[in-house]
């Protein structure tokens, strides 16, 4: 397994296809695809193999050595194999990497939550920007509001 695979959010689910480094805005862009041969319908949990189409999602991930990182995730839409299911077409889910409809990986959300809980809004943004994270006060405050409550 190469270095890039070790840096992916979940190398058992994702496979890196291409890496681009842009020095000016300090950005690393990775093109990744899912390794899963099938996907479960979110409505009826029936495994599906028939691909309807594909599209690309742009995700923010943890910075690498001060460079912001973006994942261009190529996901597939599947036909549900269950004729009685009301959901005819669905997009494959990658629950170990991100929530449905999310634009940030789980590990980036956790990092934002930790920074926000430790330092708050403005101070947290200054630290996050120094470490190579994107976002402003609103993003950190949203991360704090969505953080699970500690027991």
pLDDT tens digits, 92-116:
999 999 999 999 999 999 999 999 9
pLDDT at 151: 53
Read off the pLDDT of each residue in 50-65 and give the average, rounded to a whole number.
Answer: 94
Query: pLDDT tens-digit profile of 41-54?
Result: 999 999 999 999 99
Average pLDDT, the chain: 89
Q: If you search the block for the tokens 């000016």, which residue do you land on?
A: 24
SS3 140: helix
> Closest by alpha carbon to 95, among 14, 5, 3, 1?
14
Q: How confident is the model at residue 24 (pLDDT cuts 50, 70, 90)?
A: confident
Task: Report which of residues 30 and 1 the model is more confident about.
Answer: 30
Task: Report which of residues 126 and 5 the model is more confident about.
Answer: 126
Is the pLDDT confidence value at 81 over 60? yes
* All structural domains of the chain with their residue ranges: 1-94, 104-151
Read off the pLDDT of each residue in 60-85 and give the average, rounded to a whole number.
Answer: 92
Four-CA torsion 114, 134, 131, 117, nearest 10 degrees: -20
Q: How confident is the model at residue 19 (pLDDT cuts 50, 70, 90)?
A: confident
């Amino acid at each position: 397994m190469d270095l890039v695979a070790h840096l992916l959010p979940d190398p058992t689910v994702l496979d890196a296809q291409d890496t681009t480094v842009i020095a000016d805005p300090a950005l690393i862009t990775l093109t990744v695809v899912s390794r899963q041969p099938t996907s479960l319908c979110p409505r009826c949990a029936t495994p599906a193999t028939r691909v309807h189409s594909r599209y690309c999602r742009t995700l923010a991930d943890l910075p690498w050595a001060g460079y912001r990182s973006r994942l261009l995730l190529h996901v597939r839409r599947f036909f549900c194999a269950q004729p009685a299911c009301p959901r005819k077409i669905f997009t494959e889910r990658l629950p170990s990497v991100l929530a449905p409809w999310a634009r940030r990986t789980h590990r980036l959300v956790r990092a934002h939550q930790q920074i926000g809980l430790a330092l708050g809004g403005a101070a947290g943004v200054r630290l996050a920007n120094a470490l190579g994270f994107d976002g402003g006060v609103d993003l950190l405050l949203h991360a704090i509001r969505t953080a699970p409550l500690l027991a």
